[in-house]
Amino acid sequence: MSDLSAEEGPPRVSMAAEDDGLFALPTSSDDTPPAEPVPAGAPLAVRMRPRTLAEVVGQAHLLRPGAPLRRLAEGGEAASVLLYGPPGTGKTTLARLLADAAPRHFVALSALSSGVKELRDVMNDARHRRDRQKRQTVLFIDEVHRFSKTQQDALLGAVEDRLVLLVAATTENPSFSVVAPLLSRLLVLQLQSLSEDEVRALLRRAVRDERGLGGAVTLSAEAEDALVRLAAGDARSALTALEASADGVTGTGGTVVDVSAVERAVAQTTVRYDRQGDQHHDVVSAFIKSIRGSDPDAALHYLARMLVAGEDPRFIARRLVVHASEDVGLADPTALQAAVAAAQTVQLIGMPEARLALAQATVHLATAPKSNAVIVGIDEAMADVRAGAVGEIPAHLRYGRYTGARELGNAIGYRYPHRLPEGVLEQQYPPDDLVGTDYYRPTQHGGERVLHERLIRLRRAVRGEEG
């Protein structure tokens, strides 16, 4: 097969494949017909998809002159990339524009419907195209985090040898969702949620552009503010909400989209939260840190985000139980009881009523005095044990109720504390090397203030120290 002639130019791709909401994914055939114009009845987000890099709103940090993504789009920088960011930030749009900007063959796969066989077929075609046509293949994989480890491993050789130029997209934190060997071979480019000004610009363009609403409606300032707020940085959500609001207005003969029109069209903001990804970890982290920081209002906010997003209430309850011992401890001995009671309520009653017990435990822990003395104590003790500070158990503490135990010296000399009215007496309990080591150091917070004074007296009595 002869080399591709200069007159042929970039390959044309079909828009017949799966649509992600911003634009359709192209097929991999060299012989597909030119892309047809987007139908007038297509969703607004599809009609307004960027046709050039200049039309892309947001991601200026990736598209400025000299940036890796711009160099790639201009035909240089043969580096495989991972586009990581929230929904509606243009990952698939950018990948599609990369295919149009350089004379490379473009293949799109969705991790939802492709397996190892499809990957191998693409690699074989790419090898043939490279060897026979001297033409590079760009492989776009959407939702790459949904590939199994085996599927991701199947990409390693092709990416390492640059058999394909991989452009992968994911909404998941790649540290959690992409295997380390593949991640090390990719240039990770993080896309950011659109700013309020960028969403505002996108809405205004859609209102006036002939591809969009073509000036059929006007958008009040209050409605624009509401749409910006509801979008939360998601371009697709902003355009979808605008279209629904505009349809409601024009359907009754109106021309002004106001706040009431937005409220009628959009019931509530979609909570961005993925139970397997970084949003899950971020919200849970913020929840625990708000409790630790004694801010019950912020803690209730993050609890609400988890509950509205459908997080398993048993997971939340388990985190509260852990937190009760980790960050409250004996500064409030009832905190653990409250957390355990909430966990039991979740098991016995379930949602939605269990939200009240979870909220009660959250407020209890957030407003309780805090102490991490328990976790510090056990972690220091475990660290010493791992380091070999185990020592011999004092003979008088060893088990002595078996034949021959006393001949070994076991239990001889043990003093029974309850024989004294105080219930405390001088006696060595730790191994010799750990005598005088204080692992538990109570704070002056809450119940530990009283415990602090009592522990001083107990240690003096047990260790035979002068008061």
pLDDT in tens, 132-178: 888 888 888 888 988 888 889 889 988 988 888 888 998 888 888 89
pLDDT for the residue numbered 278 = 54
The pLDDT of 290-316, averaged and rounded, is: 91
Q: Poorest-confidence range of 22-31, 120-129, 138-147, 331-340? A: 22-31
pTM (2 decimals)?
0.58
Instruction: Give the pLDDT confidence of 246-294 residue by residue, as tens digits.
Output: 999 998 899 999 988 888 888 654 455 555 555 678 889 999 999 999 9
Whether the per-residue pLDDT at 76 is higher than 50: the answer is: yes
Task: Average the pLDDT over 63-72 and give the result.
Answer: 82
Tokens for 114?
A: 């492709």
pLDDT for residue 77? 61
* pLDDT of res. 117: 85
| Tens-place pLDDT, residues 197-249 | 999 999 999 999 999 999 999 999 999 988 988 888 889 989 999 999 999 99
Tokens 């060997």 correspond to 181
The size of the chain, in residues, is 467
- The angle formed by the CA atoms of residues 255, 258 and 262, to the nearest 5 degrees, is 110
**Which has more pLDDT, 138 or 48?**
48
pLDDT of residue 13: 35
pLDDT in tens, 403-456: 888 888 888 999 999 988 889 999 999 999 899 999 999 989 998 889 899 899
Q: How far is CA 7 from CA 74, 97, 310, in A?
A: 19, 21, 55
Give me the pLDDT at residue 406, please.
85
pLDDT, residue 79, reads 80
Q: What is the rounded average pLDDT for all residues in the chain?
A: 84
Task: Give residue 337's pLDDT.
Answer: 96
Checking if the pLDDT of 19 tops 90, the result is no
pLDDT recorded at residue 1: 38
Residue percentage of the chain with pLDDT more than 70: 87
* The pLDDT value given to residue 134: 84
Residues 6+ apart with CB under 8 A from 461: 422, 424, 425, 426
Q: How far, rounded to the nearest angstrom, does the alpha carbon of residue 206 sit from its chain's CA centroid?
A: 31
Residues sharing a CB contact under 8 Å with residue 300, sequence separation 6 or more, in sequence order: 359, 362, 363
Per-residue confidence band for 102, with pLDDT thresholds at 50, 70 and 90 = low
- Residue 189 to residue 83: CA distance in whole angstroms: 5
Note the pLDDT of residue 240.
92
Alpha carbons 409 and 394: distance in angstroms, whole number: 10
At 109 the pLDDT is 85
10: which DSSP letter? S
Task: Please tell me the least confidently modeled range out of 32-46, 374-388, 419-433, 440-454.
Answer: 32-46
Q: Which of 270, 367, 362 lies closest to 316, judged by CA?
A: 362
pLDDT band at 333 (very low <50, low <70, confident <90, very high): very high
Which of the pair, 271 or 125, is modelled with greater confidence?
125
